[in-house]
Amino acid sequence: MARLSWVAFALVLVTGMGAVSADPNSPESWFPEKVKDFGTVPRGPMLVHYFRVTNPTSEPIQIGGARVSCGCVTAVVPNPVIPAGGSGVIYAQMDTRRFVGAKSVTVYVTLIKPVFQEVSMQVTAFAREDFMIHPDNLSFGQVARGQPATATARVSFYGDLNWQITEVTSESGLLKPSFKPVPGQNANEVAFEVSAQLGPDAPAGKWFTDVWLKTTNPTAAKIRIPVNMEVVSALTATPTAVQFGGVFTGQKNEQRILLKGNAPFKILKVEGTDDAVQLTSPIGEEAKPVHVLTFTLDAKAAGAVDRKLKVVTDLASEREIVLPATGQVFVAQ
């Protein structure tokens, strides 16, 4: 999956990450990306970026806060404590209404633990008033997983009637971008419709990426259009795994899974069960939007439990879901 980023509440993967230092104890290495260049942008929209923070150490990272060198940028730390092995983000927002031309702003992040240090990052953009993108991003909104979708935006150039788009590219292989000329609303406008088509292979989650326009104007040779979407699974499980935890031999442990579909559905079968891991709730033949499955671990022998349980349904868009099942059986004393 090329340069497509996912943001969720607990984990955010951001596009454009640079090389990470080999030393996991270096605070600089915890910030894989130090510069975000939004490129040439129309004056007016809010530009948003998530700087990723990783914690490869064995203890939590505590962030004291973030400050900026210009009021046109705000920086927020949504999760000030990042557990060992975890990830977090620094949320940066740039207001292009507050400047014209080139602007480079430094974001200073203060670390409190395990070391007291300040790490800096930069946000840059070049705001112009002679073109406009409406809406200011390619937004797909919510898209059902496996279903194709298209988002469009109008790009208008003013003053130079010879200004043309020559190429459009995507940072993600899951998007197919295109463009075509459209009539201008007045004699001073050259306009294009830019589209991005989402393929059926996009995984579930909130995604952010960019589409880039190549133009004939040497002072704005590349123009960025941000892309966002939320791909929603037709079939979801809560929780997403069957976790039995620790059990002694001779005991049983039940775990319930809530299975929800975007339409009423039937469960056809459940694969992967046996004498140790059993489905102890009836499947039933009624089509419902929500089913509750009860799995039971019958701890007969000591050892680790690690397997996949596949639930097969009659949903047209997403017929099956795989549930990891884990646990540990200890010998009863």
62-97 pLDDT tens trace: 999 999 999 999 999 998 999 988 899 999 999 999
- Residue whose structure tokens are 């003013």: 158
* Cα 106 from Cα 86, distance rounded (Å): 25
DSSP-assigned beta bridge partners for residue 36: 123
The per-residue pLDDT for 108 is 96
pTM of the model: 0.65
Residues of the chain with pLDDT under 50: 1-22
Beta 277-279 vs 5-7: how paired, if at all? unpaired
Same domain membership, residue 153 and residue 57: no
DSSP state of 99: -
Specify whether 205 is located in the same domain as 286.
Answer: no
pLDDT at 199: 81
- What CATH number did the domain enclosing 321 receive? 2.60.40.10
Tokens of 85: 């092995």
Quick one: 139 and 223 in the same domain?
Answer: yes
Final residue in a domain of this structure, among 232, 258, 285: 232
- Say if residues 303 and 329 touch (Cβ distance below 8 Å): yes
Return d(Cα 9, Cα 12) in angstroms, integer. 8
Q: Are residues 260 and 203 in the same domain?
A: no
Cα atoms found within 13 Å of the Cα of residue 60, Cβ hemisphere only: 9
96: DSSP letter: G
Q: Are 166 and 141 in contact (CB under 8 A)?
A: no
Q: In the sheet that 73-76 helps form, which strands lie side by side, from edge to edge?
A: 46-54, 87-95, 73-76
Range of the domain at 192: 131-232
Tokens 């469009």 locate to 152
Query: What are the structure tokens assigned to 324, written together?
Result: 């990891």
Q: Name the domain count of the chain.
A: 3
Final residue before a domain boundary, out of 201, 216, 232: 232
18 and 113 part of one domain: yes
Same domain, 185 and 249: no
Residues 249 and 152 grouped into a single domain:
no
Burial class (CB in 10 A: 0-12, 13-18, 19+), 20: middle
Domain boundary among 232, 251, 272: 232
